[in-house]
Amino acid sequence: MRALVADGRGGVALREVDEPRPEPGEAVVAVHAVSLNPFEVRTLASASEGWRPGSDVAGVVVSPAADGSGSPEGAGVVALARGGGWAERAAVPTEHMALSPEGLDPARAATLPVAGLTALRALHAGGLMADHRVLVTGASGGVGRFAVQLAAHEGADVTAVVRRLELGGDLERLGAVRVVVGMPVEEEFDIILESIGGASLAAALGMVAPRGTVVSFGNSSKEPTTFDAGSFFSKSGARLYAFTLFPELERLGTGAHDLARLAALAAGGRLETSVDLETSWHDAATAIAALRERRVVGKAVLRIH
């Protein structure tokens, strides 16, 4: 079968590779669409030739899991793979796989695993409740756009932080009560989803409400953080929560359930998947370049054919 593999020069090449060899708890899926994430694009930059990226997968089960778990042959599914997803076929753990509702385009379903699950689980890590004030940094990004919508569905008062104000109207339509450029340091929030790192994380630690939570899940700025300990510990009971998706899902065991929920919301028109760039996998270089140059607002998707 064919797959996109690292070419050893920072990009990808379409090559013949071995068929997937699934574990007993893994199904083999014929992949129809994948979405791209920052860590895949970042890792590719220095990956050895032959490395196989790909976590976000939507397609059809061609070989159900040997242990009987998951969906049967022919079922349309969306799944979080442990790599190797940018391929004609991929082995995916059924614990991170859900049926994709009829009518949900695979290109939209493929946006859900990493970005959707990160948004959902990070909000839960912060203990999301209806009366919470939630701040989302990187709100124009793939995770941020899902987080704004999911927090707003719950009834939270959502503030979206962006770098470009022209994205404001769009985020208000998705549920943000206000859109700001830069951190609104005079305010307090019960949950802060923080993915920029550097000065943004430092500001977040000073803006969290007593008993509130800063969920740190990224460092897009690639900057270290220096923060004023006094402005943090004076918020009695506030927490800094370190979030990484795979260990979080392994610990909670909610991957399939959460993915089914996200897919149902997307299919029902209640969760916008924000596909900003959709192209053939033969044109993966264009999508990778667009992500690296920060020209994608939301998600980039490749169709596998």
User: Residue numbers of the site for ligand NAP (CB under 6 A)?
Assistant: 37-39, 114-115, 118, 138, 140-144, 163-164, 195-196, 217-218, 220-221, 243-245, 294, 297
Q: Give the nearest distance from C-beta 140 to ligand NAP in angstroms.
A: 4
Query: Looking at beta carbons only, is 56 or 88 nearer to ligand NAP?
Result: 56
CA distance 239 to 243: 12
Query: Looking at beta carbons only, is 71 or 195 nearer to ligand NAP?
Result: 195
Query: Looking at beta carbons only, is 94 or 118 nearer to ligand NAP?
Result: 118
Contacts for 20-23: CB closer than 8 Å, 24+ residues apart: 20/84, 20/87, 20/89, 20/90, 20/91, 21/91, 22/63, 22/65, 22/66, 22/91, 23/91, 23/93
Q: Give the nearest distance from C-beta 60 to ligand NAP in angstroms.
A: 26
Query: Looking at beta carbons only, is 61 or 123 nearer to ligand NAP?
Result: 123
Cβ-based neighbours of 274, under 8 Å, separated by 6 or more: 111, 142, 145, 146, 297, 298, 299
**What is residue 289's three-state secondary structure?**
helix
Q: Which residue has the tokens 């574990």?
A: 23
CA distance 169 to 47: 38
The 8-class DSSP code of residue 220 comes to T
Which residue number places its CB atom closest to ligand NAP? Answer: 141
Q: Give the nearest distance from C-beta 139 to ligand NAP in angstroms.
A: 6
User: Packing angle between helix 117-125 and helix 245-252, nearest 10 degrees?
Assistant: 70
Q: Give the nearest distance from C-beta 144 to ligand NAP in angstroms.
A: 5
Q: Give the nearest distance from C-beta 137 to ligand NAP in angstroms.
A: 7
Q: Which residue has the tokens 């614990």?
A: 95
Handedness of CA 19, 39, 106, 254 (dihedral sign): positive
Query: Looking at beta carbons only, is 62 or 297 nearer to ligand NAP?
Result: 297
Q: Give the nearest distance from C-beta 197 to ligand NAP in angstroms.
A: 8
Query: Looking at beta carbons only, is 9 or 163 nearer to ligand NAP?
Result: 163
